[in-house]
A = this chain, B = another copy of it.
Amino acid sequence: MSQRLVKVGLVQSAVGPDKAQNLAKTVRLVEDAAARGARIVCLQELFASEYFCQREDAELFDLAEPLSGPTTEAMAAVAKARGVSIVVPLFERRAAGVYHNSLVVVSPKGDIAGHYRKMHIPDDPLFYEKYYFTPGDLGFMTIPTPEAAVGPLICWDQWYPEAARMTAMSGAEMLVYPTAIGWHPKEKAEYGASQLSAWQTMQRAHAIANGVFVVAVNRVGHEGPADGGLDFWGHSFVADPFGVVLAEAGEGEETLVVECDLGRIEEVRRNWPFFRDRRIDAYGGVTSRFLDRTGR
């Protein structure tokens, strides 16, 4: 099998209250990644702002912007200047009262190559996303870039095998998961390690089940009140199509540039031919809410 090498950049950073500063800082980090050879750069979920979903406040919808707003414009400019593709998460204002947790992929020409709206919306203490985000209506997809077919997904999507499966089946070679996940400081000692392990295990399994690369990019730092808030756990990583972790960041700011051989996809799928044997005649129940045939 022939090699097809591409370097992917993962920008894991801490975020402050000033959106313009966050944007300017991220532009510099993308430039760094490009200088280190990255051809596709992935940013973390809602990278331009602090994770505002820690509280429900109608004023915070002011953070939303149109698809071709300042965030996309700034990233399109650096994409064009450096000749790279960038996965750009943003808080999308679609219409009054209709807001999405979205991403665009900007091309090396500075165009929007594709647009995805987060399909699975969480709602948990300090992650009040159902208040802000209308569930996505664009479905699962693959977005072409010059170097790789990118399968866009966002954070909570990462817990759903159906999302990974359909994205891979649409032709993606690389699932990208911009993320904002962290510990509740009070839970960290007891549950921190198992939560981080579950998060990584789930995504490595998507790589294995589908024979694709997985790129997860998470933020770092504490946000919110000193006696509460969230500790974003970082640990951005890349897994190969057999779930092997090629590179993993720590819990501080860090930009990974990771070489991926897309030729591995066909090699792995030949040796572990899971797609061949799917029982599509028997999977109809997946579209049910629950099957309610418990024996108990």
Q: How many whole Å from A241's CB to the nearest CB in chain B?
A: 10
Which residues of B lie under 8 Å from residue A287 when comparing CB positions? 280, 283-284, 286-287
Q: Is the CB of B283 within 8 A of A286?
A: yes
Q: Are B166 and A165 in contact (CB under 8 A)?
A: no
**Bound: A163/B280 CA distance, A:** 11
Oligomeric state, in copies: 2
The answer to whether A160 touches B201, judged by C-beta atoms less than 8 angstroms apart, is no
A160–B278 contact, CB under 8 A?
Answer: yes
Residue among B143, B166, B204, B272 making CB contact with A205, cutoff 8 Å: B204
A208→B198 contact, CB < 8 A: yes
Report Cα–Cα, A280/B277, bound state, in Å: 23
Indicate if A243 sits at the interface (CB-CB under 8 A). Answer: yes
**Within 8 Å CB of A143, what residues of B?**
295
Q: Which residues on B sit within 8 Å (CB–CB) of A120?
A: 277-279
What 0/1 pattern do residues 182 to 198 of A give for CB contact below 8 A with B? 00000000000010011
Name A144's closest neighbour in chain B (CB-CB).
Answer: B295
Q: Does A122 contact B (CB under 8 A)?
A: yes
User: How near does chain B come to A246, taking the closest CB pair, in angstroms?
Assistant: 12
Q: Is A156 an interface residue (CB 8 A)?
A: yes
- B169 near A244 (CB under 8 angstroms)? no
Chain A stretch 207-259: residues in CB contact (< 8 A) with chain B? 208-209, 242-244
Shortest CB-to-CB span from A112 to chain B, Å, is 13
Q: Which residues of A contact B (CB under 8 A)?
A: 114, 119-122, 124, 135, 139-145, 149-150, 156, 159-166, 169-173, 194, 197-198, 201-202, 204-206, 208-209, 242-244, 271-275, 277-280, 282-296
24 of the cross-chain contacts (CB-CB < 8 Å) are: A121-B277, A124-B271, A124-B273, A143-B295, A159-B208, A159-B274, A161-B205, A161-B209, A166-B291, A169-B290, A169-B291, A170-B285, A170-B293, A170-B294, A171-B293, A173-B296, A197-B244, A198-B208, A201-B201, A201-B205, A202-B205, A202-B243, A283-B287, A284-B287
